[in-house]
Amino acid sequence: MKPKTYVLEKEYAVDRKTAWQLLADNNRMNLYIGLFPVSFSPAKQDGAEVFYREAYAKVLGLVPISWQEFPFQWQENDSYTVERRYLTGPLKHYTLKVEVFDSGNKATRVKLSADFVPLNPLGYGAIWATGLPSVKKIMRYLDDYLASGATDPLEAPQKPATVKINLLELDRLSALLAKSPVDSSYVERLHRYLAGKGDHDVAQIEPIQLAKLWNADLDDTLRVLLYATKAGLLNLGWNVICPNCRVSKVEHSSLSQLEQEFHCDLCGVNYDANFDQFVELNFSVHPSIRQAYAEVYCIGGPMITPHVKAQQVIQQGRTARFVMPEGEGALRFRVLQANDRVAIDKNAEADSLDYSDGGWSQDSVSGFSDVVITNSSSADIVVALEHADWNKQAVTAAKVTAMQEFRDLFSSEVLSPGQKIGIDHVTILFTDLKGSTLLYETMGDSNAYGQVRNHFDFLTGHIVRNSGSVVKTIGDAVMAIFNKPEDGLKAALGIQKNLAAFNDTTNEDLVLRLGLYSGAAIAVNSNDRLDYFGRTVNLAARIQGQGEGNDIVISREILAQPMSAELLASTDIELEEFSAALKGIDGAVELVRIRLREESIVEEQAG
């Protein structure tokens, strides 16, 4: 059968990046243009060719077809290609290439090239009946976007809800949410979102994308989603994400369902579950409001793995050129499935790479200009140019479990007994009320306890305002957790700056010692609450003991981080670096004592 090739071109009054984000979001686009949902098998490989997935679908919901879908190839903001080899049905082969070009005056020229190879005469009819019309609908998708007046790809046109929305229940639960401590404007936005968005968007609500759509602070968005879940508007879920391909391997409705280890068929690697790398939070509309499902139309498109800037199939013995994106940091090349990685380091001398059965020819490549990669191995390979720190684009379990609202609203959301989940980066704050024994002796148990409780409220306020949460109180001490060290440092500075003002309101002279340390920890279920253990926790407790009162003691590593250094670059702050031998810790630990000058405390009181 002779192949059929069709080329469609059109200019659109949108910038190139917007056109790319619309056309490369294959799941959303395929749903809108009316393609059929697809189910995919785990990755397979035959001989020396690259891996593929077997795909199954029903055309018009009636005619079953199946095919081998090979990895997408793309260069971000430039082009992508997808290849299908059919196993059943009237077609033998299909390739689609989508390209975007700058056309001046914030316009973009879009070019679609579709190649169809029929298996038999019926294939020509299938091309005219479904194949070519589907390609034309891609262009109409952009037409509808412009006609809608949308200004952001996140507001792209969608199919309406497939079932009736229970507006009475939505109104009732929204009114309940409005009684929560959240901004009323967020309640109104969420109401409109749940009533007006398509099934896919409400069945898989990603907090970061929602915050971008609302042009809102991520923490504020997260808070309203957590309170909305408590009110019954949403359900909460946890996706276990492969750290390399960023594809969800399994979804759980509770942290207690997490397993210690999981496997990625695409990368061929087993991983231990990890809170800040592999466990991602998302939300979905509650079924009492509307039944919605996130049907799968594509699992390999560019916007499904937004941390990948380019991806190419390199046949054995061939070379490929990768265009290096500007202004991107922490990039690397990775061979899919083999999982071999090489860093991009501006200080490296090499500007080309060779890949063999033994791996990469060197550990790093400069990346100052285009990088040429040669495949000298015995098989075809897929190479991805990607961000090494993709988890910054996700709300991880480490972040949300460090929020006080989560711990307050979902105290039952804990790991199963005996389960231990690692966290690579967490910041622990310990506080100590200096002279508390004397406080009880002079004031009596009842009055002293009242003062201690008041000071807990004071500490909690600063911890919560800086995206942290109180893990537990130990006597008159507090243990708190933060996802980022700068958040913990902000909270500690705020506590010491405002302590004098707090003392004025209580007619007391409380003195606090604060210790802050960042590092790895273990999350566990302790008395049906999330708790944290490990060397980082021990060090934070010991560091607090080095305090003299009205000071903050941190590790030298926290001071070395740019965000922390910026916070401490003030004339109102004195820094003292010192070493200390801590009980139970091998070797001296390098520490920094932070003191606030008297004038900064007075100014804070006056403010």
Q: pLDDT category, 605, cuts 50, 70, 90?
A: very low
pLDDT average, residue stretch 420-430: 85
Residue 225 has pLDDT above 90, yes or no: yes
Helix, strand, coil percentages in the chain from 3-state DSSP, rounded to 5 = 35, 35, 35
Kindly tell me the burial class for residue 517, based on how many C-beta atoms sit within 10 Å of its own C-beta (0-12, 13-18, 19 or more).
Answer: buried
Least confident of 70-79, 120-129, 296-305, 379-388: 296-305
Spatial separation of the C-alpha atoms in residues 479 and 540, rounded to whole Å: 9
Please list, in sequence order, all residues whose beta carbon lies within 8 angstroms of the beta carbon of residue 53, skipping any fewer than 6 positions away: 40, 41, 42, 43, 44, 68, 69, 299, 300
pLDDT in the model for residue 390: 58
Q: Which of 88-102, 430-444, 578-592 is modeled with the greatest confidence?
A: 88-102
Residue 452 has pLDDT above 90, yes or no: no
Residue 416 has pLDDT above 80, yes or no: no
pLDDT in the model for residue 110: 96
Please list, in sequence order, all residues whose beta carbon lies within 8 angstroms of the beta carbon of residue 274, skipping any fewer than 6 positions away: 243, 421, 422, 423, 424
pLDDT in the model for residue 603: 43
| Whether the Cβ atoms of residue 376 and residue 358 lie closer than 8 Å to each other | no
| Whether the Cβ atoms of residue 544 and residue 485 lie closer than 8 Å to each other | no
pLDDT in the model for residue 445: 63
pLDDT in the model for residue 463: 95
* Per-residue b or e along 184-223, where b marks 16 or more CB atoms closer than 10 Å to that residue's CB: eebbebbbebbbebbbbbbbbbbbbebbebbebeebebbb
Q: Which of 48-52, 224-228, 342-346, 580-584 is modeled with the greatest confidence?
A: 224-228
| Whether the Cβ atoms of residue 497 and residue 604 lie closer than 8 Å to each other | yes
pLDDT average, residue stretch 135-150: 92
CA angle at residue 325 from 155 to 347, to 5 degrees? 145
Structure tokens at 602: 């007075």
Q: Which helix (H) or strand (E) holds 502?
A: helix 485-506
Single-letter amino acid, residue 389: D
Alpha helix ranges (H) inside 342-444: 397-400, 404-409, 436-443
The alpha carbon of 422 is separated from its chain's Cα centroid by a whole number of angstroms, namely 17
The alpha carbon of 253 is separated from its chain's Cα centroid by a whole number of angstroms, namely 18
pLDDT in the model for residue 521: 86
Please list, in sequence order, all residues whose beta carbon lies within 8 angstroms of the beta carbon of residue 135, skipping any fewer than 6 positions away: 6, 8, 96, 112, 114
* Maximal C-alpha separation, the chain: 97
Task: Give SS3 for 205.
Answer: strand
Residue 98 has pLDDT above 80, yes or no: yes
Spatial separation of the C-alpha atoms in residues 112 and 97, rounded to whole Å: 6
Q: pLDDT category, 606, cuts 50, 70, 90?
A: very low
Q: pLDDT category, 604, cuts 50, 70, 90?
A: very low
Task: Give SS3 for 459.
Answer: helix
Closest CA to 316 of 85, 47, 81, 48: 48
pLDDT in the model for residue 599: 59
Structure tokens at 285: 């509309």
Spatial separation of the C-alpha atoms in residues 364 and 372, rounded to whole Å: 13
Q: Is the pTM of this model over 0.85?
A: no
Residues of the chain above pLDDT 70, percent? 90
Closest CA to 315 of 83, 159, 5, 592: 83
Torsion angle of the four alpha carbons 416, 419, 422, 428, in this order, in degrees rounded to the nearest 10: 70
Within 10 Å of residue 392's Cβ, how many Cβ atoms? 10
Mean pLDDT of the chain: 86
The alpha carbon of 105 is separated from its chain's Cα centroid by a whole number of angstroms, namely 34
pLDDT in the model for residue 486: 93
